Structure 1
Amino acid sequence: MGGVRAEKEHLNLILGSHLTTIHDTLQVLDQTASSAFEKVSWEDVIKMADQVSKQATTVGMIWTGDMPESKAVEESMASYFNTLQGFLLLSHGCTVGAGPTLSSCIHVSVKQVVDSSFRMMKETVSLYGTRSESQKLSVPQLVGAVWEACSALKKTPSTNITAIGREMTRVAVSVKDVLREMKELKPGSSDDSGDKAVGESCAETESEPHDDNSSEGDDDIGNDLSPEEMKVAERAIAVVSDTLSVVKELIRSITGLIKLEKPSDNSEFVNSLEKLLQLCQELGKQIDEIGACLYPPQEIPSINAALEKIHSTIDVVQVEVAALQGTSDVFLEACNALRSSLRQLVSELSSSSIADLESKVENITLTNN
């Protein structure tokens, strides 16, 4: 028994050494590779990930029978971490010329492979010396997690343009989700023509799954809004709907430009797209802010501040798109429609503030009497 304990301690020491080496290598990936290095293709990374998957399978097979010998576990660790190290170095080579968005996508995907590998190896070493069948049953699941992480690399964007486009789409989906939540603020008995317009603007994104059986109490949220607050909510819905249209048209404009001009993944073009992505994310942030401020009591100053930021952001977006020569009439129409919705909401907020002030003055008068 003492010999098994000593062997397990030895394996833990070796494991610790391997984990430290991989961790140090992963830190290098935090920095984009220098342009002086030769760029590695993402296909090569995927091929190396297949080797990691095969090594994980080998690790799992060791535990299918009786307790393996210490030497077999040690050798499988060395082989696995050697392959994982090669995978990390190739992944780093893929970041040559990568902008912030692509670099982040690569880092997240690679980190998933590393994290699942660490969990698998720690668990297998912890099993050494035990005959617990329940513990051994966990090994196939851990191996499967490594397979999934490696397989997910095939869905990771391999170019700056693809990575940025995917992130812009996420902003559109996020804005659409806020729009759906805001529509729930409306009382079920209200007959508002805005529902139709909002529905049409989201027709392209309604295919995503939606839980219509979410908390039953949610249906009563809108009943807490006063008539004045309802008017603000309706105007805000128009702003969010038009913001969604702007983001969609921005994506279409960039996609059309790419298809027409076929620009290379050069730094100047990528920098412009990165800036547009940041502007999109700013729009999404302000839409989140407006959505959060609509619940009673409505935060009028915060909504006004968000509207100002959206207006200024749209101006910059138009300038950036024009610089890329990707401006279309439909895109301009979407921007102008959003500006109109912004003005209408600002006007409604002003009226609502005056009505609120008059109500407070009236209450003060009544109290004094």
Structure 2
Amino acid sequence: MASYFNTLQAFLLLSHSSTVGAGPTLSSSVHSSLKQVVDEGNGSHSKDLKISVPHLVGAVWEACSALKKTPSTNITAIGRGMTQVAVSVKDVLREMKELKPVSCDDQVDEAAGEGCAEAASEPHDDNSSEGDLGNDLSPEEMKVAERAIEVVSNTLSIRKVLIHSIIGLLKLEKPNDNSGFINSLEKLLQLCQELGRQIDEIGACLYPPQEIPSINAALEEIHSIIDAVQVEVGELLGASDVFLEPCNDLRSSLRQLASELRNSSTADIEARVENITLT
């Protein structure tokens, strides 16, 4: 075991020396992989050593194998970070597409509509599936969800162009380059991560009753993020129609969603007024 820890110490020293010139994202990736190796190795403190050693060896071996997949350059690490955000946004998009309209809509007759309203007012069965609760949207809410889906789809288009652009920059990175070139990429990653958080916020607010003010706030943030992303991309790649087009598409879908939110808010106010009982 002493031999193992001596080897581990030498391994850590070598690994840390390899992070010279690494940016925040690459350093974080390397440290995360190193931590996994160290944490798995600490399983040697188990009381039942005879049982734990085979499991320990396997766990450390897997951690070391995962270490081989750690990014070796700043651009690769940043590209993977953007890919992870894209995967998260795809999950939000999938959940949005699972939203569905209420079973009783404007096309049913009044009697059936009253029946649906009475059923909706009854307590839910304790045995009902939680996954089916709160997914049914009114026609107005469904329109908002459809516009939000367009926003998320256009966000993914921007990420796709960004990732391809970063792949094209791989040949430009120098081993010791941690200058403005890498700093700009790091800033782009941070902006993409913040964009992903705003998309998460919109997705969470689509469930009824929809949180219109929160969605509007997220839209304003996304507008600012896209402006900042476009500035950074312009400094890195120069003016590019390939990137300008998806940005304009996203701005257009943001305006359409904002318009739908105003309509939905007006409809909600009118419904509340109609339900006021005059005494």
What range is the shorter-chain TM-score in? 0.7 to 0.9
8 Å CA contact retained: 1:113, 1:146: yes
SS of the equivalent of 1:368 reads: coil
CA distance in 2, matches of 1:159, 1:216: 46
Change (3 A) 1:188 1:218: farther
- Find the residue that maps to 2:237 and give its secondary structure: coil
Shift in alpha-carbon separation, 1:188–1:142, aligned structure 2, 3 A: farther
Per-residue CA deviation, residues 43-65 of structure 1 (Å, 9 max, x unaligned), is xxxxxxxxxxxxxxxxxxxxxxx
Amino acid at match of 2:217: A
Report the AA paired with residue 185 of structure 1: L
Aligned ranges for residues 88-107 of structure 1 at < 5 Å?
Answer: 88-107=12-31
Distance 1:324 1:291, change over 3 A: same
Aligned to 2:122: none
Q: Deviations over 1:110-146 (max 9, x none)?
A: 0011011111x202xx236xxxxxxx34421121001
* Closer, same or farther: CA 217–78 of 1 in aligned 2, 3 Å: closer
CA gap of 1:269–1:298, structure 2 versus 1, over 3 A, is: same
| 8 A contact 1:253–1:326 mirrored in 2 | no
Q: Distance in 2 between matches of 1:276 and 1:99?
A: 13
CA deviation digits over 1:242-273, x for unaligned, max 9? 011111111112223445xx232512211010
With CA pairs under 8 Å and 6+ residues apart, which has the higher RCO, 1 or 2? Answer: 2
- Per-residue deviation, 1:360: 1.1
Residue 338 of structure 1 corresponds to: 250
Report the alpha carbon displacement of residue 341 of structure 1 after superposing the two structures with TM: 0.2
What is aligned with 1:275? 187
TM-score by length of structure 2 reads 0.86
Q: 1:245 aligns with which of 151, 157, 162?
A: 157
Q: Does 1:255 align with 2:167?
A: yes
1:164 to 68, 71, 78: 78
Q: Distance in 2 between matches of 1:149 and 1:282?
A: 30
Is the contact between residue 290 and residue 302 of structure 1 (CA under 8 Å) also seen in structure 2?
yes
2-side partners of 1:352 and 1:269: how far apart?
44
Note if contact 2:148-2:257 (Cα within 8 Å) is conserved in structure 1.
yes
> Residue 235 of structure 1 aligns with which residue?
147
User: Distance in 1 between the 2:169 and 2:269 partners?
Assistant: 50
Report how many residues are paired: 253
Summarize deviations over 1:286-329 as a string: whole Å, max 9, x none.
Answer: 00000000001100000000000001100010010000125432
2:236 matched to 1:324?
yes
The question of whether the paired residues in 2 share the 8 Å contact of 1:249 and 1:331 is answered with yes
TM superposition shift of 1:151? 1.2
The two structures have a TM-score, normalised by structure 1, of 0.65
Of structures 1 and 2, the larger Rg is shown by: 1
Cα contact 2:101–2:138 (8 A) shared by 1: no
- 1:186 corresponds to which of 91, 100, 111: 100
User: How far apart, in 2, do the equivalents of 1:178 and 1:309 lie?
Assistant: 18
- In the TM superposition, residue 187 of structure 1 has moved relative to its aligned partner by 4.2
Which amino acid is 1:143 matched to? V
Alignment identity in percent? 75
Offset of 1:94 from its aligned partner?
1.2
SS at match of 1:90: helix
CA–CA separation in structure 2 for the residues paired with 1:297 and 1:138: 52
Cα shift readout 1:68-96 (whole Å, capped 9, x = no counterpart): xxxxxxxxx22111111111111110111
1:216 offset after TM fit, Å? 7.1
User: What letter is aligned with 2:174?
Assistant: S
Rate the CA distance shift 1:327–1:162 in 2: closer, same or farther, 3 A.
farther
**Equivalents in 2 of 1:285, 1:326: separation in Å?**
27
Provide Cα deviations, 1:192-227, integer angstroms capped at 9, x if missing partner: xxxxxxxxxxxxxxxxxxxxxxx97646754x2111
> Which residue is equivalent to 2:4?
80
Q: CA deviation at 1:340?
A: 0.1
* Counterpart-to-counterpart distance in 2, 1:327 and 1:157: 29
Equivalents in 2 of 1:246, 1:347: separation in Å?
A: 22
Which residue matches 1:44?
none
Q: For the structure 1 residues 88 and 263, does the alpha-carbon distance in structure 2 shift closer, same or farther, using more than 3 Å as the test? A: closer
**Could you say which residue in structure 1 is the equivalent of 2:32?**
108
Q: Structure 1: which 5+ runs fail to align? A: 1-76, 129-135, 190-214
**Alignment correspondent of 1:132:** none
- Aligned pair in 2 of structure 1 residues 297, 188: CA closer, same or farther (>3 Å)? closer
Q: Is the 8 A contact 1:257 1:326 kept in 2?
A: no
Q: C-alpha separation between the residues in 2 aligned to 1:303 and 1:288?
A: 10
Return the match for 1:176 from 86, 90, 105.
90
